[in-house]
Structure 1
């Protein structure tokens, strides 16, 4: 479903008015937009995000699932998968969180946000080597804007080794 310029402007207005300490008005605003445009996947995503920011993860999860069912693509899909995966982590649904974020990783392999949220879920699920591997990949992909310099190649190799499950340990 198309996101018109008017809807883009309305969404931007909702974000401009958002008060993270009191999300009730933002939730009401986005719920109102959704009532005007029922079943619009991006608006369902925005409502989910508002509930999520308010700390109402169970309410958010249902709406993320609905947004996915309605069909998202591109950046909206990437955002939804990241946010939904993170919400599942907060809800303690770690296997589902990792699965959602691995789907996102497959669809958006260069997304730093996906890789960081996946690392958080992997760490929470006890897969610390895989989590560190994800973070090292993000960091070394941007070595030029850090002071990693010559360490980037070695750290990238370490990340690959950790991500492969410490292959030398298996011998």
Structure 2
């Protein structure tokens, strides 16, 4: 149920990459393409949610993300949907739920393909909740492996932000 043709995915990607479309104008072509899969298809729901989210229509996006997750997505799209849903609900003021979703995703994706993305949005949610030190620790921890120098130092300092005595 989570498979789509390469042609369909290329056409969706082309809509997302079309610089001539503003975010609001992207919704209708994405909806048309989603209709080819059927409105209950998890990937169709996910793409429709993302289009609305990008257009600033978070209230419309939220239930579509939830439906996509309930319908079942492949692992990468599932992580993307969790991140995007959590970001949406954070913007809607549901910070505690966003923290729960992102905290779980942060742990689940460690060492995986979407680990840095989960960490980035978890850090944003932590900052929104007022936990700036933990947010900085998560963000620096995600950044450290990408540094050309000081990886060990930054990793240590990131841990120290939330555990100053090394307990």
**TM-score category of the 2 structures, normalised to the smaller one:** 0.7 to 0.9
CA contact (8 A) 2:34 2:47 kept: no
Question: Which whole-Å deviations, capped at 9, do the CAs of 1:46-94 have from their partners, x for residues lacking one?
Answer: 1111111111111111111111011012211121111111111111110
Task: Extract structure 1 runs of 4+ deviating beyond 6 A.
Answer: none
Q: Which residue of the partner structure matches residue 71 of structure 1? A: 72
Q: How many residues align?
A: 162
Residue 161, structure 1, aligned to residue 165, structure 2 = no
CA contact (8 A) 1:18 1:26 kept: no
Q: Equivalent residues in 2 for 1:50-69 (5 A)?
A: 50-69=51-70
What secondary structure does 2:35 align onto?
Answer: helix
Question: Which whole-Å deviations, capped at 9, do the CAs of 1:21-51 have from their partners, x for residues lacking one?
Answer: x333311111122222222211211111111
Q: Could you list the runs of 5+ residues in structure 1 that have no partner in the other structure?
A: none
CA contact (8 A) 1:115 1:135 kept: yes
Q: Equivalent residues in 2 for 1:125-136 (5 A)?
A: 125-136=129-140
Q: Which residue of the partner structure matches residue 30 of structure 2? A: 30
TM-score, normalised relative to structure 1: 0.85
Q: Could you list the runs of 5+ residues in structure 2 that have no partner in the other structure?
A: none
Q: Which residue of the partner structure matches residue 137 of structure 1? A: 141
TM-score, normalised relative to structure 2: 0.87
Distance apart, 1:158 and its partner CA? 2.0
- C-alpha RMSD of the superposition: 1.9
Q: Which residue of the partner structure matches residue 119 of structure 1? A: 123
